[in-house]
Structures are given as structure tokens and as C-alpha cells.
């Protein structure tokens, strides 16, 4: 099978400069060769070029910032990822901020309407236009995929293609009040860091998959935000939250999902190489590449 590395140098879903350089650093660290060394055929024809639109022509819609830019970029990503999936490739999307997952998951669900989503993150990214506090759309992609909240015409291309019972979270520890309410109202299964502590990562992954993929027969889209990891493990990210996953817990999730043989698409999001010192950047880029390799078959034995 062929991997398609989709480099998405995009930062419009959040305010910090630099996250658009994430894909460049991940590829420069040798990720393509590393995947080839795992035996994959890898397609990478350069990072995506997103034409900017000036903020003058993209005023906020309510609280939402850069709405037209984010919508247009994510629609483009949905088409690219969707085309790779349709052609039997495994898209590995490198962010870039997590708003991109509105596109990647839309793309996956177009070909695999029954796919389940494992969302690994400190945050739920499920704010609606009504509940968002920041107006940063990287905190909202899941609400668009579920079709929650008031319809926004500029985002009409996003179909509510994800069902709540096909979504599960691992690593949550920083939710807005509105998001907690949304998870409860929609009966969305979430394994926060409390559950990780209580049951251990092995049981958590098993319970998460039992929930969204009980017969282990549904395709899996893994959307991994590096801020799910503890900031001591992945410091160079825009919204770090203490008390996160260890290096091994993060890798275990990826290894276990590889073991299912059901992975059809992967996102590795929110690496921001302009944050913190060079050693932190190297550490974060290195762990990002390592997580991708683990999700794609690198094993310890
Ligand atoms: N939920 C946040 C963070 C989203 C993080 C997106 B990512 O892709 O990185 O998972 C947090 C907003 N929150 C508002 C109140 C403040 O005191 C703290 C941050 C938001 O901005 O909506
Ligand atoms: Mn996220
Ligand atoms: Mn996050
Ligand atoms: Mn983040």
C-alpha cells in the first residue's frame, strides 16, 4: 500500500505564528525516508500551497476568526485527502493547526462513510460558533463534522458525515464549559487523563476501540494533536496543557491502532517549530516523526 504524505503548512485556525512550518520540519527531519525504510511506498509531491486571502476580505463571522480562509483551505484538504483515500492510498496529513481535520476527516468519510475517528488531544476541539470562547477554529473542527450548532453558510461544504457513536477521545484534560455540555448532550465517549491514570493506556485503547469499533471491522481515522502529549514530551505546540500523555502512552496508542490493521488515514497536528528553544523544537519534531512511524508499523521487537 502507498502512503501519501500531505504537508499542510496552515495556521489560520489559531493565532500563533509558526505552526504552518510544522510540516516542513517534519519532512526535513527525514519522515519520508523513515516511512520508506518501514517498507512503505511513499508519495510526497511537495507541501500544499494555500493561497492567502487578506484579512481585509475575511472579517470575523461572529467570533470566528479567518473563517473564509479556514473554510477554503479545509475544503481543499478534503479534496486532496479524499482523492488519496479513493485511490487506495493512506494519507498522512502533517499540520498545521487542527482545524485541518475538518478537511481530512471529511475526505476519509467520503470514501469510508462507516469509518470511526480516534481523536487524541488535550482538547475536544468541538466548540460551535455559539460555544467558542476564543473564536479560533482549531477548537471547533469536530462540531462541524458532527453538524452541531447553527449552520454557517461559508462552511456549507462540510457535510455532517461523522456520527457521535463513531467518535472517541483519548487524552482530554482542558475542555471549555460549552464542550463538556456538548459531549454529555451527544453521549460522546471520552477517555480523559483521569481514565488513562485509572485504567492504564492499554485498557483505555481497548475500551475506546470497543466503543467505536466493537467488531474491529471499521476503518480508523486517527487524528493526533501533539498537545495530547505532556509538554515535557512535546513542548513546541500552541496550546500546551500539563498532565499529558507520556512518550510511551502516545506511542502505545499509535502501535495499538497499527495492530488493528484498520488504519486508513492519519493526522499529525499542531507541531509549532517556532515555539520554545531549538532543543524543544528538535524534541517535538522527533516525537512527531516517531508517532507517525509507530502508527504505520514501526515496532519495538
Ligand atoms: N478550547 C480552546 C483550545 C482549542 C485547542 C485546539 B487544539 O487543536 O490545539 O486542540 C481553549 C479555549 N480556552 C478559552 C479559555 C481560556 O482561559 C483557555 C483557553 C479553544 O480555543 O476553543
Ligand atoms: Mn486539537
Ligand atoms: Mn489540542
Ligand atoms: Mn494544539
| 236 secondary structure, DSSP code | -
pLDDT tens-digit readout, 113-165: 999 999 999 999 999 999 999 999 999 999 999 999 999 999 999 999 999 99
pLDDT tens-digit readout, 240-293: 999 999 999 999 999 999 999 999 999 999 999 999 999 999 999 999 999 999
Is the beta carbon of 283 within 6 A of some atom in ligand 1?
Answer: no
Catalytic residue among 58, 174, 179, 227: 227
Q: In this structure, what are the phi and psi dihedrals at residue 69, rounded to the nearest 5 degrees?
A: -65, -50
Q: In this structure, what are the phi and psi dihedrals at residue 145, rounded to the nearest 5 degrees?
A: -65, -30
Give the full edge-to-edge strand order of the sheet including 2-7. 41-43, 2-7, 90-94, 263-269, 220-225, 116-120, 167-172, 189-192
For residue 146, give every residue at least 6 positions away whose Cβ sits within 8 Å of its Cβ, in sequence order, or none. 126, 160, 162, 163, 164, 167, 186
How high is the ipTM of this complex?
Answer: 0.95
Cα angle vertex 113, ends 112, 117, to 5°? 80
Largest CA distance in the chain: 54
Is the beta carbon of 267 within 6 A of some atom in ligand 1?
Answer: no
- Considering the entire predicted model, what is its pTM? 0.98
CA distance 268 to 26: 10
The grid cell for 299 is: 515496532
Q: Assess whether 267 carries a catalytic annotation.
A: no
Q: Assess whether 98 carries a catalytic annotation.
A: yes
Amino acid at each position: 500500500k502507498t502512503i501519501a504524505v500531505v504537508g499542510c503548512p496552515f495556521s489560520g485556525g489559531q493565532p500563533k505564528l509558526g505552526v504552518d512550518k510544522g510540516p516542513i520540519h517534519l519532512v526535513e527531519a527525514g519522515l519520508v525516508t523513515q516511512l520508506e525504510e518501514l517498507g512503505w511506498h511513499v508519495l510526497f509531491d511537495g507541501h500544499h500551497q494555500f493561497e492567502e486571502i487578506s484579512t481585509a476580505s475575511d472579517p470575523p463571522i461572529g467570533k470566528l476568526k479567518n473563517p473564509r480562509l479556514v473554510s477554503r483551505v479545509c475544503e481543499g484538504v478534503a479534496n486532496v485527502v479524499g482523492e488519496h483515500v479513493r485511490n487506495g492510498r493512506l494519507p498522512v496529513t502533517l499540520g498545521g493547526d487542527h482545524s485541518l481535520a475538518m478537511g481530512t476527516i471529511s475526505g476519509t468519510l467520503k470514501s469510508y462513510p462507516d469509518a470511526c475517528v480516534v481523536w487524541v488531544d488535550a482538547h475536544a476541539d468541538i466548540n460551535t460558533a455559539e460555544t467558542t470562547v476564543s473564536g479560533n477554529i482549531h477548537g471547533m473542527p469536530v462540531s462541524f463534522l458532527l453538524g452541531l450548532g447553527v449552520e454557517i453558510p461559508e462552511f456549507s461544504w462540510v457535510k455532517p458525515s461523522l456520527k457521535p457513536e463513531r467518535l472517541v477521545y483519548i487524552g482530554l484534560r482542558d475542555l471549555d464549559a460549552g464542550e463538556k455540555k456538548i459531549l454529555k448532550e451527544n453521549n460522546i465517549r471520552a477517555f480523559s487523563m483521569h481514565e488513562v491514570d485509572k485504567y492504564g493506556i492499554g485498557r483505555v485503547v481497548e475500551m475506546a476501540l470497543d466503543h467505536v469499533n466493537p467488531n474491529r471491522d471499521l476503518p480508523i481515522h486517527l487524528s493526533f494533536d501533539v498537545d495530547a502529549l505532556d509538554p515535557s514530551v512535546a513542548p513546541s505546540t500552541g496550546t500546551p496543557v500539563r498532565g499529558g500523555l507520556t512518550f510511551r502512552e502516545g506511542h502505545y496508542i499509535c502501535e495499538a491502532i497499527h495492530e488493528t490493521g484498520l488504519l486508513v488515514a492519519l493526522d499529525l497536528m499542531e507541531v509549532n517549530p517556532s515555539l520554545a528553544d531549538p532543543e524543544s523544537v528538535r524534541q517535538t519534531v522527533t516525537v512527531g516523526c516517531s508517532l507517525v512511524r509507530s502508527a504505520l508499523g514501526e515496532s519495538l521487537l
